């Protein structure tokens, strides 16, 4: 038995309500169980019950043991003086409010179906990473789809809030915010943090001042990245000379990153940070108003065209300075482009939708996801192995959220799938 399970039992009233009596022998009738409170204070608010013949409106507090009230020091907190009923699994002591009055108590022990409790315990104690792995086939397809929709909405909301936090840190500058998010994404997980520091040091306005000169943009990016300290060939020397001038102009020297923070080990050459910086530079050169162009792009085809960039001639032949590749290096690939749409463009559209309070942008974000390939990773493979395949990024994003926010935390009680399995008595 857990307190979370008692919350669930009270919220859905899954207990025997015949001849309800308080521990003091008073009759209890529940007219309204209240609203679940996820903030500080009593567990359920605005409940309505009748004790004997007197109707009460107030809060409900739930504990495993009545004595937990005292352990949590509620008797000293006036926020709990409006508790009209203390719901417990086991009543082991008399509870008083801060003013000394008795708190009516309802003991649920013996009133909850053993099968319901067993279903819950089997689910949350399942050894599988996905608790419902062995029983998912029992769940109605409509319940599964609704759960996926809710999970995706939650994921977009959470990602949008992170974008809005950055937007406010950037003094409500959408272009700067989108530039930073895009730059971070070019790290493709392994070098995300280093890329983020890079684009936070080089403001977008500095890029825009030199937006027509590929050498100067590359000089800024590679110079601040700490990759021009020891030039090894003619092109690196050219970039270093340009960087010396730009560094004095924008005062980059003091904030230059150490080259050691960039990770090359165990990466395929196509993911080397040097190549990703070169590709990012080409995107900046191609699009001078990143956010505005993204916002005006309505089709997934045009969006991919917007992100399709070919790195400069030098980086079509090199993965690193001086080290020439054996064959021509391709441009940013489709997988990388879809990754950027999923992880940067979609969250930015969702954030803009919340900021403007207009559903157009959220609808577009969801539409983009529905037209992209599903992600391929260990989490999606697990879902596929138990019979839930992803046909688009809409599905894979929803499944990732289910895994990370519910399955990993064993929050089956807050998941519609878990709810469906627990109550199947």
Last residue of one domain, picked from the residues 112, 146, 161: 112
Across residues 226-237, what is the average pLDDT?
Answer: 91
Q: Residue 424 has what pLDDT?
A: 77
In a domain, 165, yes or no: no
Residues 6+ apart with CB under 8 A from 204: 175, 176, 179, 180, 290
Percent of the chain, pLDDT > 90? 91
324 strand-pairing partners? 318
Residues 6+ apart with CB under 8 A from 186: 195, 276, 277, 279, 280, 340
Across residues 195-218, what is the average pLDDT?
Answer: 95
Task: Kindly tell me the burial class for residue 41, based on how many C-beta atoms sit within 10 Å of its own C-beta (0-12, 13-18, 19 or more).
Answer: middle
Distance CA 43, CA 36 (A): 6
Q: Residue 425 has what pLDDT?
A: 56
Phi, psi (degrees; rounded to nearest 5) at 417: -65, -50
Looking at the structure of the chain, the number of domains it has is 2
In a domain, 199, yes or no: yes
311 with 177, same domain? yes
Phi, psi (degrees; rounded to nearest 5) at 142: -65, -40
Distance CA 421, CA 136 (A): 8
Crossing angle of helices 141-169 and 174-185, in 10° steps, is 120
In a domain, 397, yes or no: no
216 with 318, same domain? yes
Print the domain residue range for 61: 3-112
Q: What is the pLDDT of residues 149-165, one digit of tens each?
A: 999 999 999 999 999 99
309 with 190, same domain? yes
106 with 175, same domain? no
Cα(first)–Cα(last) distance of the chain, in Å?
18
328 with 186, same domain? yes
In a domain, 306, yes or no: yes
Percent of the chain, pLDDT > 70? 100
For 372-400, the three-class secondary structure string (H helix, E strand, C coil) is CCCCCCHHHHHHHHCCCCCCCHHHHHHHH
Task: Kindly tell me the burial class for residue 64, based on how many C-beta atoms sit within 10 Å of its own C-beta (0-12, 13-18, 19 or more).
Answer: middle
Q: What is the pLDDT of residues 100-126, one digit of tens each?
A: 889 999 999 999 999 999 999 999 999
Across residues 70-74, what is the average pLDDT?
Answer: 93
């Amino acid at each position: 038995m857990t307190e979370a399970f008692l919350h669930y039992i009270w919220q859905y009233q899954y207990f025997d309500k015949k001849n309800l009596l308080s521990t003091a022998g008073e009759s209890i009738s529940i007219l309204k169980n209240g609203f679940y409170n996820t903030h500080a204070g009593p567990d359920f608010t605005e409940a309505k019950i009748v004790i004997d013949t007197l109707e009460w409106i107030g809060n409900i507090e739930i504990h495993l043991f009545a004595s937990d009230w005292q352990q949590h020091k509620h008797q000293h907190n006036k926020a709990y003086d409006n508790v009209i009923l203390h719901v417990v699994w086991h009543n082991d002591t008399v509870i008083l409010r801060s003013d000394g009055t008795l708190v009516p108590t309802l003991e649920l022990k013996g009133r909850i179906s053993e099968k319901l409790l067993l279903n819950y315990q089997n689910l949350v104690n399942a050894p599988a990473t996905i608790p419902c792995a062995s029983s998912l086939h029992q769940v109605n397809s409509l319940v599964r789809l609704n759960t996926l929709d809710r999970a995706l909405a939650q994921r977009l909301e959470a990602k949008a809030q992170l974008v809005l936090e950055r937007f406010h840190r950037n003094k409500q500058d959408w272009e700067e915010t989108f530039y930073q998010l895009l730059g971070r994404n070019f790290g493709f997980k392994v070098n995300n943090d280093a890329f983020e520091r890079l684009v936070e040091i080089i403001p977008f306005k500095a890029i825009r001042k030199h937006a027509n000169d590929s050498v100067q943009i590359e000089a800024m990016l590679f110079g601040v990245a700490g990759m021009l300290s020891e030039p090894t060939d003619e092109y690196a020397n050219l970039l270093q000379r340009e960087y010396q001038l730009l560094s004095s102009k924008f005062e980059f020297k003091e904030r230059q990153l150490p080259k050691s923070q960039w990770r090359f080990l165990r990466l395929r050459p196509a993911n080397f940070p040097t190549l990703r910086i070169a590709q990012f530079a080409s995107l900046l050169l191609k699009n001078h108003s990143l956010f505005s162009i993204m916002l005006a792009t309505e089709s997934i085809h045009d969006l991919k065209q917007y992100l399709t960039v070919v790195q400069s001639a030098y980086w079509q032949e090199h993965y690193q300075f001086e080290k020439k590749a054996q064959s021509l290096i391709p441009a940013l690939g489709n997988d990388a482009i879809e990754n950027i749409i999923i992880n940067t463009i979609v969250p930015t559209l969702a954030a803009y939708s919340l900021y403007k309070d207009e559903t157009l942008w959220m609808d577009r974000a969801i539409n983009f996801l529905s037209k992209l390939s599903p992600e391929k990773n260990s989490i999606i493979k697990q879902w596929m192995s138990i019979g839930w395949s992803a046909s688009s990024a809409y599905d894979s994003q929803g499944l990732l959220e289910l895994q990370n926010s519910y399955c990993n935390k064993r929050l089956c009680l807050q998941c519609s799938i878990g709810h469906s399995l627990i109550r199947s008595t």
